[in-house]
Amino acid sequence: MPHLTSTSQQSLRAVLLAAETDDSGWSADQSLAELTRLAATAGIEVVGKVTQHLHEVHPRSYLGKGKLQELKAEKSSLRFDAVIADDELRPAQQHFLEEVLDVQVLDRTALILHIFAQHARTREGRLQVELAQYRYRLPRLSGRGVELSRLGGGINTRGPGETKLESDRRRMRHRISELEHDIERVRETRSLQRRQRRRSGIPVIAVVGYTNAGKSTLMNRLTGADVLSSDQLFATLDPTTRRHQLINGQEVLLTDTVGFIQKLPTDLVAAFRATLEEITEADLILHVVDASHAQADEQADAVEDELEELGVQHTRRLTALNKIDKAAPERLAALNRYFDAPVCISALQGTGVENLEEQLLNAVSAQFVPVTVQIPYGDADLVNLFRSRGTVETEDHIAAGTLITGKLPPGLVQSFKQFLAGPKAGA
């Protein structure tokens, strides 16, 4: 991002701007507290906050002009070199603020994109962030300072009569389509991997939640994975999938992935489709909520909204109220009522994790298909497959082979098709 540059070695000093409108569930103070954490994650120092109650944000100036003049008057005392708006600014609003305040103008989206760019580790993550950045920047390229091009050909130079702005735009569009192409290839690979997984019949559990809820800590606790967990927003972006044995020995795959946040930029969601699709094909969504956060319920609602956007509102859900070691008891009681049969845990300390394991098993096996199969003794591998991937209720050794009554993941039933001895009686 070209915007996040400090003129000195010191970190950027920024004033946060928020318009408090009626249509948001979050107060400006709550939302600004979060924006402050985003700024800190990006290494920016917050030196002031301006909020204004508005019926709707000002289409040209974001906040009212009077408010902006007041801020301008404080420029020398606050010594800020940037402002950050708590909403995504329209290009015109951004330019207006730049004109009036004569400082760098950022918004929540630019900040999130910057953090994503810092934290993306894999090629897939980097491609997706770059795409989101270009899509964000393209309509914001400034026309000011445009010089007419010399006539000239050659690689990467402007076409005849093209302005610098035009050639920049052209190059950006070109890069966007390259990125879209590359990401499409990534999606295809991922989708192929998921199809293979589905055929293997191993249920997939997607760990989702608001950023910093403790998803990666839980993932590490359950699977012994070594996913980066840290007290930062968007510490982990790239999906990690690990095998995990439920308490009955049955295998599942757990996927930890990028967290959500309120006002998540739509360009970012669109660009991260390949990553987010991991959630869309999960058999179970484990929603991790930070019960110690004052806006735990609003955060969970923001997550649910995004899940709905992804079209997975019907996927089976299990809610884990995390960080109970530092949640206030009365708050925890209220959250217990707010969610449908949540499990209380401390991923950090391990409290409640056994109970969570039981609930995971219940939730996963609830989707299994009851079957009775008769497997010839020559196909012992299939018996083992049933034991490791399904739930065995009875196992008898008769003359024709092994007779098993139990449940199988839907994806695996096909593998036992020729040995099916009809559905379990009474199931």
The site for ligand GTP (CB under 6 A) is made up of 209, 211-217, 229-236, 259, 322-323, 325-326, 346-348
Q: How far is the CB of 213 from Mg ion (least distance, A)?
A: 8
Choose among ligand GTP, Mg ion, none what residue 326 binds, the Cβ cut-off being 5 to 8 Å by kind.
ligand GTP
Q: Please report how close the Cβ of residue 215 comes to Mg ion at its closest, in angstroms.
A: 5
Region of 81-89, 210-218, 281-289, 296-304 interacting with Mg ion (CB under 5 A): 210-218
- Which pair of structure tokens corresponds to residue 413? 């039933």
Structural contact between residues 342 and 286, judged by C-beta atoms closer than 8 angstroms: no
* Residues whose CB is less than 8 angstroms from the CB of residue 140 and which lie 6 or more positions away in sequence, other chains included: 91, 94
Distance in angstroms (rounded) separating the CA atoms of residues 379 and 175: 53
User: Which pair of tokens denotes residue 364?
Assistant: 């996963």
Give the single-character DSSP code of 121: -
Cβ proximity to ligand GTP: between 57 and 237 the closer is: 237
Closest CB 121 distance from ligand GTP, rounded Å: 12
CA distance 290 to 326: 10
- Phi, psi (degrees; rounded to nearest 5) at 134: -65, -40
For residues 259 and 409, which CB has a smaller minimum distance to Mg ion in the complex? 259
Instruction: Classify residue 165 as exposed, middle or buried by CB count within 10 Å of its CB (0-12, 13-18, 19+).
Output: middle
Among ligand GTP, Mg ion, none, partner that 347 touches (CB below 5 to 8 angstroms by kind): ligand GTP
Q: Whole-number minimum distance, CB 396 to ligand GTP, in Å?
A: 45
Task: State the minimum distance, in angstroms, from the CB of residue 359 to ligand GTP.
Answer: 17
Span of 110-118, 175-183, 228-236, 281-289 interacting with Mg ion by CB under 5 A = 228-236
Nearer to Mg ion among residue 231 and residue 340 (C-beta): 231
Decide whether 216 or 255 has the Cβ nearer to Mg ion.
216
- Given ligand GTP, Mg ion, none, residue 339, with its beta carbon under 5 to 8 Å by kind, binds none
Contact partners, residue 368, CB within 8 Å, separation at least 6 = 390, 391, 407, 408, 409, 410
- The sign of the CA dihedral 103, 107, 112, 116 is negative
Which residue's Cβ has the minimum distance to ligand GTP?
Answer: 259
Beta carbons within 10 angstroms of residue 21's beta carbon: 14
Considering the complex, state which of residue 129 and residue 233 has its C-beta at the smaller distance from ligand GTP: 233
* Smallest gap from residue 201 Cβ to ligand GTP (A): 28
Residue with Cβ nearer ligand GTP (37 or 194): 37
Q: In terms of C-beta distances under 8 Å and separation of at least 24 residues, what long-range contacts does 396-400 make, across chains too?
A: 398/374, 400/374, 400/376
Rounded to whole angstroms, the Cα distance separating 55 from 173 reads 36
Residue carrying the six token digits 């070209």: 2
For the bound state, the minimum distance from the C-beta of residue 227 to ligand GTP, rounded and expressed in Å, comes to 7
The piece of 58-66, 212-220, 301-309, 415-423 that touches Mg ion (CB under 5 A) is 212-220
245 HSE (CA, 13 A, CB side): 5
Exposure of 339 in the CB half-sphere (CA atoms within 13 A): 28
Residue 230 CB, shortest distance to ligand GTP, in Å, is 5
Nearer to ligand GTP, 57 or 335 (CB): 335
Which tokens sit at 329? 């008891």
- In this complex, which beta carbon is closest to ligand GTP, that of residue 203 or of residue 259? 259
**Judged by CB, which is closer to Mg ion: 19, or 296?**
296
* Cβ closest to ligand GTP, residue 216 vs residue 319: 216
236 part of the interface to Mg ion, by CB under 5 A: yes
Instruction: State how beta strands 82-85 and 104-107 pair.
Output: parallel
Least separation, in Å, of the C-beta of 116 and Mg ion? 13
Contact partner at residue 213 from ligand GTP, Mg ion, none, CB < 5 to 8 Å by partner kind? ligand GTP
Of 198, 180, 280, give the one whose Cα is nearest residue 239: 280
Give yes or no for residue 216 binding Mg ion (CB under 5 A): yes
* Two tokens, residue 340: 């449908």
Q: If contact means CB under 5 to 8 A according to the sort of partner, which of ligand GTP, Mg ion, none does residue 234 touch?
A: ligand GTP
Single out the segment in contact with Mg ion by CB under 5 A; choices: 91-99, 149-157, 200-208, 213-221: 213-221
Residue 119 C-beta: closest distance to Mg ion, Å: 10
Q: Which two tokens stand for residue 389?
A: 């991937």
Asked if 72 contacts 49 with a C-beta cutoff of 8 angstroms, the reply is no
Which one, of 94, 270, 293, 90, lies nearest residue 180 by Cα?
Answer: 270
Residue 212, binding choice from Mg ion, ligand GTP, none, Cβ under 5 to 8 Å by partner class: ligand GTP
Which residues contact Mg ion (rule: CB under 5 A)? 215-216, 235-236
